[in-house]
């Protein structure tokens, strides 16, 4: 296992989609390679930060405008007899 193979398997490793033998050999490499450890750790954090980030609130004007338009259309749909 070398640094290049770690990068190649990075996505499967982070998603825990590797067979145990490969996983163990990656972890053995990581124990002795500071650079790979940092890459694995910061890539994992990249995913976590995006995954946990809350979307910004919509500006009030946009929210009201979009909801009004949406519910106007939904009410129109509801009032139509179903085909």
Partner 1 sequence: MNPVEPRQQLPSTVVKEDEPELVAAAKAGDISAFETLVSRYERKIFRLAQNITQNREDAEDTMQEAFLKAYQHLSEFQGNSRFYTWLVRIAVNQALMKLRKRRPNQVSLDEEIETGEESMPREVEDWGPSPEDRYEQSELGKILGDTIADLDPPFRIVFQLRDIEELSTEETAEVLGLSVPAVKSRLLRARLKLRQKLNKYFRRSDNQ
In the chain, what are the helix, strand and coil shares in percent, each to the nearest 5?
Answer: 75, 0, 25
Binding residues for partner 1, total number by CB under 8 A: 43
Contact 25, 1 (CB under 8 A): yes
**CB-based burial label for 26 (10 Å; 0-12, 13-18, 19+):** buried
Query: From CA 70, how far away is CA 18, in angstroms rounded?
Result: 45
What is the contact mask toward partner 1 in residues 1 to 40, using x (rule: CB under 8 A)?
Answer: --xx--xx-xxx-xxxx-----------------xx-xx-
Residue ranges in 37-66 that form contacts with partner 1 under rule CB under 8 A: 38-39, 41-43, 45-47, 49-58, 62-63, 66
Residues lying near partner 1 in the complex (CB under 8 A): 3-4, 7-8, 10-12, 14-17, 35-36, 38-39, 41-43, 45-47, 49-58, 62-63, 66-67, 69-71, 73-75, 77-78
């Amino acid at each position: 296992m070398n640094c290049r193979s770690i990068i190649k398997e990075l996505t499967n490793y982070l998603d825990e989609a590797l067979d145990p033998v490969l996983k163990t050999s990656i972890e053995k490499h990581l124990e002795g390679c500071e650079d790979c450890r940092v890459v694995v750790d910061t890539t994992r954090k990249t995913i976590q930060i995006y995954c946990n980030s809350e979307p910004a609130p919509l500006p009030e004007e946009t929210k009201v405008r979009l909801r009004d338009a949406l519910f106007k259309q939904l009410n129109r749909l509801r009032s139509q007899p179903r085909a």
